């Protein structure tokens, strides 16, 4: 699939979704879009993620193959890097925490260019790392802030997050930093996919699609909050209905909201079956979640099986005469062999 | 396609079977986000500019097949979900690109999920093997190793003869006569090293280095002609073949009744020993936890597998002042250090060799930080690609490493590239001759032995290569 068709395909898929939701809202299918679909989405998400993780877990880890990124445990007088090359479970946990919370491996990134000469020129790509972190943390923040719709009374932590996030009170209602950051980062990630030839070459429709989807979710969300203000009280009523299992569809919620909600449901349903499950996969990765202690602790392969080997006895049979001639010790003399 | 008429089924069942056996395989096929953090980390991509040499795309060559036939999205959306149908052309593509991956794992260091393209390559090569596609340079050494004991197919009497030649050279250059033993029962230590060390220039100087060190220590050790291969080309073939070849190490240690095993300088040999040997074999209860007979140090990081890397062994000797070293004998060298991929990213063996190196040479310069240690660049010829017929790919793949050497060559006048890998010693020489002429490649223990002051030695006017040291010093002054 080339860039144009990949890009267009996922873009059109995004548009189609918006149209579907809009049509739904206009044709009074609020019950379907506001209640049934969210329940389906959550169920699919939970079942899907559980299935994926169990499915991975079903395959054993026959060998202990951590990628070691620092000095191993050696003599006491050689300083070991117990996080990047962990020899204990604690080290592994810390390594994983760095990986998940700070994208440690991405932080190492460099990019290389061939200059005349031939000379290779490396440059750090810390800004790429920042965009990745910015995207994920703003996503997390937005996700967390949404709990104000699903809880009553609203926990103090959610309020705190809201206050922190609207630290710069530049607009009314206060502009959330995470909103701007998310949109900026996703746009950047999208542009990056299109502009950088290497990344463009590896991109599939499945790579553009989630970015479009998140972009569309963000846009509808921002529109609702800052521009085409919607009836937040009714929306909260709907949300509380959903979480308390007494679903009801209040009147007067704009169709924009249903578009937003529909897109979120699609994202949630899409999640377990796409690359987005990287969320769960990180924790199971054998190159990151194992200690490099193979030489001290035996790692057992559950399907280990005996293989055919060439034994010493067979070897000596092949070469006995030559070995004796060269003065190499043998187990059986030539005379024994004759018997 | 000729060969197996049912090649398609063989590959498909092969994939299914491996998905059930290796979590790494299944997970790595599923979770890549194609963000491309790995893209320009591969020496083959950097050296060739071929987009299919980007690790992510290399993996996609197999992933796309998996996607179409093994995932829901692929079954539903086919090529829109990035799926491809396996065709003979794709088999050829696999053959081309999975033999352009040296399984060096550099990409894995930069991947936020630790996706290790080497792991995918290992599986792809297993699959190709199932339908009989393999390269001669791997399969012949494997057959040799199985039947004769080492990759080069050196028979027992010839093995001894070759080492005798090396001993003659040692005597000429140091004035000391040494007599190592072979297949000797009851020795304390079994010594295993890749056969490249006893056969190929400049590896042989490292082999001389080992023997000189052991003679100096009066070590109770033996060579083996049956297990005369430390390396393991089986690892480049299949997990099963790796095990078949590796089994000789413990079998021989058991037969000879040694206490523990000492291993020579090699990269993939140590990846296999560190990450696979303990798991593949029954516990090595017949051996003892390795203990240096010279210093009494117990190597407790090898307590289970009972095999020690010679650089660690030597580092301990130096730390305990057991070696009389005259560094100045290596003064004509300005040395930089190449971390072998396997010992760096499959073990974390970084400081031990550096400690030894700094104690045997006066002039040591590191290459730039993003080209050494865990970020080290592959020599370009690992995982069985070290044949002359692959020279074109090798030199391309060798570019990033060579370029870093050139950097220190230009800046500090570096003229020697030290390493602890038998394949490196052979192939980096070619790479240096092409990219950075004037830089020699030397194994760690060649440098150790050149600096080691022996009892009853001659003037030591020549080094182990038989070169006049005075001339080299003079050349260096200019
Ligand atoms: C434990 C939680 C997670 C971790 C450690 C994680 C880590 C990462 C990393 C390291 C990347 C590559 C860099 C980047 O593209 O930004 C990535 C990509 C991505 N992540 Fe996550 N992620 C997590 C959860 C999520 C969640 C919940 C979503 C929500 C949908 C998500 C959506 C994405 C997307 C869409 C990309 C691809 C960006 C692109 O195509 O350019 N991630 N993730
Ligand atoms: S393992 Fe090494 S050679 Fe293979 S794709 Fe990764 S970086 Fe390239
Ligand atoms: S760095 Fe990892 S997740 Fe990213 S493209 Fe490469 S293999 Fe895929």
Would you say the CB of residue B226 lies under 6 angstroms from ligand 3?
no
pLDDT band (50, 70, 90) for residue A24: confident
CB of A205 within 8 Å of a chain B CB? The answer is yes
Cis before B202 (ω within 30): yes
Coil/strand/helix, residue B335: strand
Task: State whether A328 and B345 contact (CB < 8 Å).
Answer: no
Mean pLDDT confidence for A83-98 = 92
Which pLDDT does position B321 carry in this prediction? 94
**Higher-confidence position of B20 and A22:** B20
Copy the structure tokens of residue B195.
Answer: 């056969």
Question: B 127-166 residues with CB below 8 A of A?
Answer: 146-147, 149, 155-157, 160-161
| B425 and B331 assigned to the same domain | yes
Do residues B84 and B222 both lie within one domain?
A: no
A200–chain B Cβ distance below 8 A for any pair: no
pLDDT in tens, A28-68: 777 788 889 999 999 999 999 999 999 999 999 999 999 99
Instruction: Quote the pLDDT of residue A172.
Output: 65
Q: Which of B94, B112, B134 is the last residue of a domain?
A: B134
Q: What is the mean pLDDT of residues A271-288?
A: 89
Grouped pLDDT means (10 residues each) for chain B, 478 residues? 77 95 94 90 92 94 93 82 91 95 94 93 95 92 91 91 94 92 94 90 93 95 93 93 94 95 94 94 93 94 94 96 94 95 94 96 94 93 87 92 93 94 91 93 95 91 91 81
- Considering the domain architecture, whether residues A301 and A324 belong to the same structural domain is answered as no
CB atoms A326 and B160 under 8 Å: yes
Domains in chain A: how many in total?
Answer: 2
Q: What is the pLDDT of residue A322?
A: 92
Confirm whether the ipTM is greater than 0.95. no
**Minimal-distance CA residue of chain B relative to A119:** B403
Identify all chain B residues contacting A95, using CB atoms and an 8 Å cutoff: none
A135 lines ligand 1 (CB under 6 A): yes
Query: Which of A65, A70, A84 is opposite residue B275, by nearest beta carbon?
Result: A65
Whether residue A300 is found in the same domain as residue A338: no
- pLDDT at residue B312, rounded to an integer: 95
CATH code assigned at B456: 3.40.50
> d(Cα A164, Cα A264) in Å, to the nearest integer?
24
Domain that holds residue A64: 3-307
Nearest-CA neighbor of B397 among B28, B89, B121, B97? Answer: B97
- A307-317 per-position pLDDT tens digit: 999 999 999 99
Q: Give, as one character, the DSSP assignment of residue B182.
A: B
> Do A246 and A332 have their domain in common?
no
Residue B154 sits in the same domain as residue B285:
yes
Q: Do residue B191 and residue B51 come from a single domain? A: no
Q: Are B23 and A61 a contacting pair at CB < 8 A? A: yes
| Alpha-carbon distances, residue A125 vs A107, A110, A204 (angstroms) | 8, 5, 23
| Structural domain containing residue B354 | 327-477
Is residue A78 domain-shared with residue A182, that is, in the same domain?
yes
pLDDT tens for residues A224-262? 888 887 888 888 888 999 989 988 888 878 888 888 999
Residue length, chain A? Answer: 339
Query: Which of B232, B261, B263 has the alpha carbon at shortest distance from B245?
Result: B232
A29 at interface of B, judged by CB pairs closer than 8 A: no
Closest to A260 measured CA to CA, from A292, A230, A280, A284:
A230
Residue A309 is nearest to which of B105, B247, B345, comparing CB atoms?
Answer: B247
A268/A146 same-domain check: yes
Q: Do residues B204 and B267 both lie within one domain?
A: yes
Question: Is B2 a domain residue?
Answer: no
Residue A111 has pLDDT above 90, yes or no: no
Residues of chain B numbered 401-430 and touching chain A (CB < 8 Å): 403-404, 406
Q: Based on the domain organization, do A90 and A137 belong to the same domain? A: yes
Asked whether B445 lines ligand 2 (CB < 6 A), one says: no
What is the tally of structural domains in chain B? 3
- Domain stop point among B283, B300, B319: B319
Residue B398 Cβ contacting ligand 2 at under 6 Å: no
- With CB atoms and an 8 Å threshold, state whether A319 touches B156: yes
Can you give the pTM of this predicted structure? 0.91
Nearest ligand, CA of residue B30?
3
Question: For residue A338, is pLDDT > 80?
Answer: no
One domain, residues B47 and B121: yes
Looking at residue B336, its pLDDT comes to 96
What HEC string does B220-273 produce? Answer: CEEECCCCCCCCCHHHHCCHHHHHHHHHHHHHHHHHHCCCEEEECCCCHHHHHH
Each residue of B56-81: b (16+ CB within 10 Å) or e? bbbbbbbbbbbbbbbbebbeebeebb
Examine the domain organization and report whether B383 and B461 are in the same domain: yes
Count the alpha carbons within 13 Å of B387 in the hemisphere toward its beta carbon.
16
Q: Is the peptide bond before A167 cis (omega within 30 degrees of 0)?
A: no
For a pocket test of ligand 2, which of B24, B54, B56, B101 has the largest count of ligand atoms closer than 8 A to its C-beta?
A: B101
Instruction: Say yes or no: CB of residue B103 within 6 Å of ligand 2.
Output: yes
Residue A168 has pLDDT above 80, yes or no: no
Residue B1 lies inside a defined structural domain of this protein: no
């Amino acid at each position: 699939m080339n860039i144009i068709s990949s890009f267009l395909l996922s873009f059109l898929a995004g548009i189609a979704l918006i149209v579907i939701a809009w049509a739904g809202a206009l044709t009074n299918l609020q019950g379907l879009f506001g209640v049934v679909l969210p329940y389906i989405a959550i169920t699919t998400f939970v079942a899907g993620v559980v299935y994926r993780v169990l499915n991975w877990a079903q395959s054993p880890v026959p060998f202990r193959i951590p990628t070691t990124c620092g000095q191993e445990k050696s003599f006491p007088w050689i300083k070991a890097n117990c996080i990047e090359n962990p020899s204990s479970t604690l080290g592994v946990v810390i390594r994983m925490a760095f990986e998940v919370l700070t994208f440690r491996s991405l932080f190492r990134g460099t990019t290389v260019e061939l200059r005349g000469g031939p000379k290779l020129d490396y440059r750090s790509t810390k800004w790429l790392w920042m965009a990745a972190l910015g995207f994920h943390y703003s996503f997390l923040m937005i996700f967390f802030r949404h709990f104000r719709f699903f809880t009553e009374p609203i926990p103090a932590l959610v309020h705190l997050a809201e206050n922190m996030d609207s630290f710069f009170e530049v607009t009314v209602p206060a502009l959330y930093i995470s909103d701007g950051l998310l949109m900026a980062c996703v746009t950047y990630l999208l542009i990056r996919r299109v502009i950088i030839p290497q990344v463009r070459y590896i991109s599939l429709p499945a790579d553009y699609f989630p970015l479009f989807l998140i972009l569309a979710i963000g846009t509808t969300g921002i529109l609702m909050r800052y521009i085409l203000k919607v009836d937040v009280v009714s929306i909260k009523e709907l949300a509380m209905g959903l979480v308390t299992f007494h679903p009801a569809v209040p009147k007067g919620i704009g169709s924009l909201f249903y578009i937003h909600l529909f897109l979120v449901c699609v994202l949630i349903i899409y999640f377990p079956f796409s690359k987005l499950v990287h969320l769960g996969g990180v924790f199971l990765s054998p190159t990151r979640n194992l200690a490099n202690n193979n030489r001290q602790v035996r790692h057992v392969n559950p399907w280990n099986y005996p293989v055919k080997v060439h034994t010493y006895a067979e070897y000596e049979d092949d070469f006995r005469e030559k070995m004796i001639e060269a003065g190499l010790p043998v187990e059986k003399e030539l005379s024994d062999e004759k018997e | 396609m000729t060969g197996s008429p049912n090649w398609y089924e063989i590959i498909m069942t092969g994939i299914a079977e491996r998905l059930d056996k290796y979590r790494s395989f299944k997970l790595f096929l599923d979770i890549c986000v194609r963000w491309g953090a790995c893209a320009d980390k591969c020496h083959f991509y950097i050296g060739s500019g071929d987009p299919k040499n980007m690790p992510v795309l290399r993996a996609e060559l197999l992933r796309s097949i998996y996607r179409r036939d093994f995932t829901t999205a692929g079954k539903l959306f086919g090529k829109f979900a990035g799926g491809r149908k396996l065709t003979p052309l794709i088999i050829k593509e696999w053959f081309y690109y999975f033999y352009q991956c040296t399984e060096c794992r550099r990409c894995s260091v930069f991947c936020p999920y630790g996706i290790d393209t080497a792991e995918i390559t290992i599986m792809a090569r297993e699959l190709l093997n199932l339908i009989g596609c393999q390269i001669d340079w791997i399969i012949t050494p494997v057959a040799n190793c199985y039947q004769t004991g080492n990759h080069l197919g050196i028979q027992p009497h010839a093995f001894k003869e070759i080492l005798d030649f090396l001993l003659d050279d040692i005597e000429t250059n140091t004035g000391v006569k040494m007599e190592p033993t072979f297949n000797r029962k009851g020795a304390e230590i079994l010594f295993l090293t890749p056969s490249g060390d006893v056969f190929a220039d400049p590896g042989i100087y490292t082999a001389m280095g080992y023997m000189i060190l052991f003679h100096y220590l009066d070590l109770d050790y033996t060579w083996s002609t049956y297990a005369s291969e430390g390396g393991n080309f089986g690892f480049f073939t299949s997990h099963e073949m790796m095990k078949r070849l590796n089994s000789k190490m413990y079998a021989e240690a058991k037969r000879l009744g040694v206490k523990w095993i000492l291993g020579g300088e090699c990269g993939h040999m140590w990846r296999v020993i560190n990450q696979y040997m303990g798991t593949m074999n029954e516990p090595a209860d017949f051996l003892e936890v390795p203990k240096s007979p010279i210093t009494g140090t117990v190597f407790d990081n090898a307590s289970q597998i009972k095999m020690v890397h010679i650089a660690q062994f030597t580092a301990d000797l130096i730390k305990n002042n057991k070696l009389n070293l005259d560094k100045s004998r290596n003064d004509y060298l300005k040395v930089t250090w190449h971390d072998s991929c396997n010992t760096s990213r499959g073990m974390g063996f970084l400081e031990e060799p550096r400690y030894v190196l700094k104690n045997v040479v006066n002039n040591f310069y590191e290459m730039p930080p993003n080209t050494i240690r865990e970020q080290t660049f592959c020599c370009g010829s690992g995982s069985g690609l070290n044949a002359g017929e692959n020279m074109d790919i090798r030199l391309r793949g060798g570019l990033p490493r060579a370029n870093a050497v050139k950097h220190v060559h230009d800046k500090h006048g570096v003229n020697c590239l030290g390493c602890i890998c038998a394949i490196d010693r052979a192939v980096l020489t070619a790479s240096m001759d092409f990219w950075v002429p004037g830089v020699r490649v030397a194994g760690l223990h060649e440098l150790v032995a050149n600096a080691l002051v022996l009892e009853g030695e001659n003037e030591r006017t020549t080094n182990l290569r038989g070169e006049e040291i005075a001339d080299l010093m003079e050349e260096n002054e200019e």
